[in-house]
C-alpha cells in the first residue's frame, strides 16, 4: 500500500474506483506513514485520526455500492491550520489563538467532505499566514523536501510538505500574497491560487480578507482541477485535448526578474524553450502597472492585517515571533485615507494591466526569484528574515494585487518553478496541463 502514497490523488481515486484500493487501507497507510515519519511533528499540528477512519469507512461503503461521490471520494488530504474543523483546535499557527476550537467546519471543508475526501489532520503554517518563508519558531517549521536544513516556504508550509513527503495526497492551503505558490515551488508541487471570492472564506481564520484565497497544493494539474471542484462543490475543468499549439504567452519582465538568483533564472529560461518547442508563442513585455501596483503592497497588506488582529496583537503581541509581529505593526500607522486611496489606485491599475495583456492566453514569470534559505540563517538574523521574505513573495504577490488567478508548476529543476497567471482558473488549468507535459 505504501507505494500508493506518493501517486497523484487522481490515480488513487481511479484505483479506488477499480477496486484496487480500499479507502480504509489507504487512510491507515497514511496515518502509519505520518506516525513513523521523522518530520511528522514539524508538518502536522494535529491529526484527526478518528474522523479520517470514519470518513474512509463511509467512502469504502459507497465504493462497494457504486455510489462514489467524486473521483476523489476516499482520498486522504491535509488541511492548513486556519480552516475551522469542528471540535478540533484551529489556531492559525499562533499562540494568540491557542485553544481556539470551532463548532463547525469551514465551508470548503464541508464541500470537500461532501465530495468524499478524507480529512487526515491540520498542518503547521506561519503565524496568521503572514510570511512566505515557512519559518515559525512559535509552533514548528517544516523542512524543504529538497534540503532539510532549508525553509519549506509559507505560509502553507505544512500543507506543502505533507504532500511532498508522502503524508497526504493533497494539501489545502491559503494564498494572500503567495502562500500556496511559494511552498509549492520550493517543494516541487503544483499550486493553484484561485480568484479572490471564488471559494468561500467562511470558517477560514482571516489575514487580509480582501486578498485571502483558498487553494490546493498537489502533485499534478489534474489534481488541482479536481480539488478546485471539490472545494466549491462544482464540476472539474475538462483538461482533455489541452495543447500549447497556438497559445500566446507574455513573459512579464518588470520587477519579476529583480534580484533573481541563477538557478531560478536558468530553470525559467529552459522551461520557456520547452514551451516554445511545444508550439507556444512567447513575447516579452513590460507592464508599468505591475510595479505601480507592487508599490501599494506595503500600505494595503499590513493595514488590513493589523486592523484584523490589532486587539490581540496589542494585548498579547509578545507571544508572537518578533519579525512577524513587526510586519503587522507596520499597519498601525497607516491612515484610513491612505488605505482607501491605495485601493482606489489599485482598482485603476488592475484595469490598466488587463488592457495591457488582453491579447495573451496567460502571463508567465518565475514562481520564486530565490531558492529556499536556511532555517538557521533566518532564525538568527531578523533583517535577513525580512529581506528574504520580501524576495520570496516578489513575484507571487503580483497576482494577488492585480486580482488574478495563478498556478505554479515544477520546472524540472528542484525548488524552481514557472508560474502562469490570468483571468480564469479553468483556462489556466488547461494551459498548465499542456505545459506539464512539455516540462517533463
Task: Identify the helix (H) or strand (E) that includes residue 287.
Answer: none
For residue 401, the tally of other CB atoms under 10 A from its CB is 23
Q: Is the C-alpha dihedral spanning 212, 206, 115, 8 positive or negative?
A: positive
Separation CA 116–CA 213 (nearest Å): 22
The answer to whether 80 is a known catalytic residue is yes
Separation CA 12–CA 245 (nearest Å): 31
The residue annotated as part of the active site, out of 155, 157, 162, 174, is 155
**The residue count for the chain:** 440
The residue annotated as part of the active site, out of 8, 70, 78, 80, is 80
- Single out the residue of 248, 186, 257, 171 nearest to residue 217, CA to CA: 171
Separation CA 414–CA 420 (nearest Å): 18
The answer to whether 179 is a known catalytic residue is yes
Separation CA 130–CA 185 (nearest Å): 18
The residue annotated as part of the active site, out of 156, 174, 179, 368, is 179
Long-range contacts of 255-260 (CB under 8 A, 24+ apart): 255/290, 255/291, 255/294, 255/394, 255/395, 255/398, 256/290, 256/365, 256/366, 256/369, 256/394, 256/395, 256/398, 257/366, 257/369, 258/369, 258/394, 259/369, 259/370, 259/391, 259/394, 260/366, 260/369, 260/370
- Single out the residue of 305, 303, 323 nearest to residue 389, CA to CA: 323
CA angle 186, 190, 194 (to 5 degrees): 110
The answer to whether 20 is a known catalytic residue is no
Separation CA 175–CA 191 (nearest Å): 10
Please list the active-site residues: 80, 155, 179
Amino acid at each position: 500500500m505504501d507505494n500508493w502514497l506518493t501517486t497523484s490523488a487522481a490515480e488513487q481515486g481511479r484505483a479506488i474506483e477499480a477496486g484496487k484500493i480500499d479507502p480504509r487501507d489507504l487512510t491507515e497507510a497514511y496515518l502509519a506513514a505520518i506516525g513513523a515519519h521523522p518530520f511528522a511533528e514539524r508538518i502536522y499540528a494535529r491529526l484527526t485520526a478518528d474522523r479520517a477512519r470514519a470518513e474512509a469507512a463511509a467512502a469504502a461503503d459507497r465504493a462497494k455500492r457504486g455510489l462514489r461521490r467524486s473521483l476523489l471520494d476516499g482520498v486522504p488530504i491535509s488541511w492548513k491550520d486556519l480552516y475551522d474543523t469542528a471540535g478540533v483546535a484551529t489556531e492559525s499557527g499562533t499562540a494568540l489563538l491557542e485553544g481556539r476550537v470551532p463548532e463547525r467546519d469551514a465551508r470548503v471543508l464541508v464541500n470537500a467532505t461532501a465530495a468524499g475526501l478524507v480529512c487526515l489532520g491540520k498542518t503547521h503554517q506561519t503565524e496568521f499566514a503572514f510570511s512566505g518563508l515557512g519559518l515559525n519558531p512559535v509552533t514548528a517549521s517544516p523542512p524543504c523536501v529538497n534540503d532539510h536544513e532549508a525553509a519549506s516556504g509559507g505560509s502553507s508550509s505544512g500543507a506543502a510538505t505533507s504532500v511532498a513527503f508522502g503524508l497526504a495526497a493533497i494539501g489545502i492551503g491559503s494564498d494572500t500574497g503567495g502562500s500556496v505558490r511559494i511552498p509549492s515551488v520550493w517543494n516541487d508541487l503544483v499550486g493553484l491560487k484561485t480568484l479572490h471570492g471564488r471559494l468561500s472564506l467562511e470558517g477560514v481564520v482571516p489575514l487580509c480578507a480582501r486578498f485571502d484565497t483558498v487553494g490546493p497544493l498537489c502533485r499534478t494539474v489534474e489534481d488541482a482541477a479536481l480539488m478546485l471542484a471539490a472545494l466549491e462543490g462544482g464540476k472539474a475543468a475538462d483538461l482533455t485535448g489541452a495543447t500549447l499549439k497556438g497559445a500566446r504567452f507574455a513573459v512579464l519582465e518588470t520587477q519579476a526578474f529583480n534580484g533573481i538568483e541563477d538557478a531560478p533564472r536558468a530553470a525559467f529560461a529552459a522551461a520557456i524553450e520547452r514551451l516554445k518547442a511545444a508550439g507556444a508563442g512567447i513575447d516579452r513585455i513590460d507592464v508599468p502597472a505591475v510595479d505601480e501596483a507592487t508599490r501599494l503592497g506595503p500600505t494595503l497588506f499590513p493595514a488590513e492585517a493589523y486592523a484584523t488582529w490589532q486587539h490581540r496583537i496589542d494585548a498579547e503581541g509578545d507571544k508572537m515571533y518578533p519579525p512577524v509581529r513587526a510586519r503587522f505593526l507596520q499597519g498601525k500607522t497607516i491612515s484610513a485615507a491612505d488605505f482607501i486611496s491605495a485601493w482606489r489606485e489599485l482598482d485603476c491599475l488592475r484595469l490598466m494591466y488587463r488592457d495591457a495583456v488582453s491579447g495573451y492566453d496567460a502571463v508567465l514569470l518565475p514562481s520564486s526569484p530565490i531558492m529556499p534559505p536556511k532555517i538557521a540563517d533566518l532564525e538568527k538574523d531578523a533583517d535577513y528574515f525580512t529581506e528574504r521574505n520580501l524576495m520570496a513573495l516578489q513575484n507571487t504577490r503580483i497576482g494577488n494585487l492585480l486580482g488574478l488567478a495563478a498556478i505554479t508548476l515544477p520546472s524540472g529543476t528542484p525548488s524552481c518553478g514557472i508560474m502562469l497567471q490570468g483571468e480564469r482558473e479553468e483556462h489556466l488549468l488547461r494551459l498548465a496541463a499542456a505545459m506539464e507535459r512539455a516540462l517533463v
